[in-house]
């Protein structure tokens, strides 16, 4: 059995993990408690306790004296209950399956004898941590803990999340240890039967926080998509500015649509629309035959076309954005004149097919 092996001090991996645990434990300022427990040597109580901790006991004392508390805080070891029984409970925290198994076996083994023994050893000590209350709870909790060791194993992802939360909260928790340890111990003891708990005081219950986290991640993913859609948004950091940029973009797009429809309203009367055929027809010959029926105003050479196209949209955009709605009608009137000038050009129909092909390719 592992316990026997542990008692013999041979389980090096176990000792290392337990050493880490104990180290972390006293790093959270339970040094007094541990010393008291360690130094109570007489009889079975102490020996059983030391047997539980087995080899690490003297090493724990060494670690107490070592100044490396910072490292210990950073180590992903279970936190903190001030009492021995809570220690035992904390051994059951799941950082690896082996530990869980060992912890389960420990608690089963120690459930009968050592609890009473430790109760005796603890009772004469000054109970600054309201240990009596917390002692009772772990007694009840331990069988539940052994049962919960299985679900502990089966929820690695949740554990990982809780482990991360632990690491984050650990530093916070350690700072208010001494004052709030009593409350925390009782709360930790209450939460011990449940999985992943390391939730600190003030932390929401897990289902809500997980759901909220999932929601937040969804929102962040969508914000990223929006940033990609909106040009020039990827450089900006900060949600509010990105949102402002998105809002501006949507507004500008809506205004462009209005503006273009205004332009179409002004332009179109001159021209007959048979462009459906342009898009429905796949073959080029079909398009050419349809074009013969179309009235197409003509036609600059292409270079000039492109130049004019670029000019007009810029002017139109600037005008539209600056003027109020009533001014739009004037703008429309001003558009008609350049269009008149364009339409007055009647070059040959060679460019007609070229132009419609061009439009098709562009679209």
Partner 1 sequence: MNPSSLKSRFATRFLRALTQIHARKPICSSSPTEIFRRYRRIKAAADKSMAYSVRSRKTWTGAVLWKLRSRSCGRRSAKTSTFIKSQQAIMKRTRHEKQNKNTTTTTTTGEHGVGFGVEASELRELVPGGEAMDYCNLLDETAHYIKCLTTQVKVMKKIADFYSL
For tokens 């929401």, what's the residue? 204
Q: Provide the token pair at 277.
A: 């055929």
The answer to whether residue 207 forms part of the interface with partner 1 (CB under 8 A) is yes
Residue of 342, 349, 354, 357 that binds partner 1 (CB under 8 A): 342
68 is a contact residue toward partner 1 (CB under 8 A): no
Identified binder of partner 1 from the candidate list 74, 153, 246, 294, rule CB under 8 A: 246
DSSP 262-303: HHHHHHGGGS---THHHHH--SHHHHHHHHHTS-------HH
Which residue, 27, 78, 87, is CA-closest to 198? 78
Question: By three-state DSSP, how is residue 62 classified?
Answer: helix
Residue with smaller CB distance to partner 1, 1 or 240: 240
Instruction: Say whether residue 164 binds partner 1 (CB under 8 A).
Output: no
The least CB distance from residue 235 to partner 1, in Å, is: 18
Contact flag: residue 353 with partner 1 (CB under 8 A): no
Distance, in Å, from the CA atom of 330 to the CA atom of 313, rounded to the nearest integer, reads 16
How far apart, in whole angstroms, are the C-alpha atoms of residue 352 and residue 132? 96
Token output for 345: 């050009």
Which residues in 142-156 are b (16+ Cβ under 10 Å) and which e?
A: beebbebbeebeeee
Binding test (CB under 8 A) with partner 1, winner from 263, 287, 291, 320:
263
In angstroms, give the least distance from the CB of 79 to partner 1. Answer: 28
110, 229 Cβ separation under 8 angstroms: no
Interface stretch with partner 1, choices 89-97, 120-128, 180-188, 226-234 (CB under 8 A): 226-234
- Pair 266, 319: CB distance under 8 Å: no
| Contact with partner 1 (CB under 8 A) among 108, 171, 250, 318 | 250
Stretch that binds partner 1, among 9-17, 49-57, 182-190, 205-213 (CB under 8 A): 205-213
Nearer to partner 1, 102 or 355 (CB): 355
Q: How many residues bind partner 1 (CB under 8 A)?
A: 70
Region binding partner 1 by CB under 8 A among candidate stretches 23-31, 48-56, 159-167, 294-302: 294-302
| Residue 330 exposed, middle or buried by CB count within 10 Å (0-12, 13-18, 19+) | exposed
262 is written with which tokens?
């205004």
**Of 24-32, 60-68, 194-202, 257-265: span binding partner 1 (CB under 8 A):** 257-265
DSSP of 83-95: SHHHHHHHHTS-S
Residues within window 300-339 making contact with partner 1, judged by CB under 8 A: 300, 305, 308-309, 312-313, 328-330, 332-333, 335-336, 339
Backbone phi, then psi, for 280, in 5-degree steps? Answer: -75, -35
In the bound state with partner 1, the residue whose beta carbon lies nearer, of 111 and 297, is 297
Residues near partner 1, by CB under 8 A:
207, 211-212, 214-215, 218-219, 222-223, 225-226, 229-230, 239-240, 243-244, 246-247, 249-251, 253-254, 256-258, 260-271, 273-276, 279-280, 282, 297-300, 305, 308-309, 312-313, 328-330, 332-333, 335-336, 339, 342, 355, 359-363
């Amino acid at each position: 059995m592992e316990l026997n092996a542990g008692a013999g001090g041979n389980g090096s991996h176990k000792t290392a993990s337990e050493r880490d645990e104990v180290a972390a434990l006293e790093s959270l300022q339970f040094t007094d408690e541990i010393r008291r427990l360690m130094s109570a040597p007489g009889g079975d109580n102490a020996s059983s306790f030391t047997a539980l901790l087995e080899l690490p006991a003297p090493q724990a004392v060494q670690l107490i004296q070592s100044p490396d508390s910072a490292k210990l805080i950073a180590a992903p070891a279970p936190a903190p209950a001030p009492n021995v029984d809570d220690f035992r409970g904390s051994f059951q925290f799941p950082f690896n399956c082996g530990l869980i198994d060992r912890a389960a076996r420990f608690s089963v083994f120690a459930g009968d004898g050592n609890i009473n023994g430790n109760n005796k050893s603890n009772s004469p000590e000054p109970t600054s941590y309201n240990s009596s209350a917390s002692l009772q709870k772990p007694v009840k909790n331990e069988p539940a803990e052994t049962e919960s060791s299985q679900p502990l194993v089966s929820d690695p992802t949740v554990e990982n999340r809780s482990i991360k939360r632990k690491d984050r909260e650990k530093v916070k928790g350690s700072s208010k240890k001494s004052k709030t340890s009593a409350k925390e111990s009782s709360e930790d003891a209450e939460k011990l039967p449940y999985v992943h708990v390391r939730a600190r005081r003030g932390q929401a219950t897990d289902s809500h926080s997980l759901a909220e986290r999932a929601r937040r991640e969804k929102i962040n993913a969508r914000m990223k998509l929006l940033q990609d859609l909106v040009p020039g948004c990827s450089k900006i950091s900060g949600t509010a500015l990105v949102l402002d940029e998105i809002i501006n973009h949507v507004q500008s797009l809506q205004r462009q649509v209005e503006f273009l429809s205004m332009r179409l309203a002004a332009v179109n009367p001159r021209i007959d629309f048979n462009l459906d055929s342009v898009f429905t027809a796949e073959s080029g010959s079909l398009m050419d035959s349809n074009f013969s029926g179309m009235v197409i105003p003509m036609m600059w050479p292409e270079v000039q076309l492109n130049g004019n196209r670029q000019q007009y949209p810029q002017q139109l955009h600037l005008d539209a954005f600056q003027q109020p709605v009533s001014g739009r009608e004037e703008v429309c009137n001003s558009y008609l004149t350049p269009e008149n000038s364009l339409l007055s050009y009647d070059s040959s129909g060679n460019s007609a097919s070229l132009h419609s092909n061009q439009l098709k390719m562009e679209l």
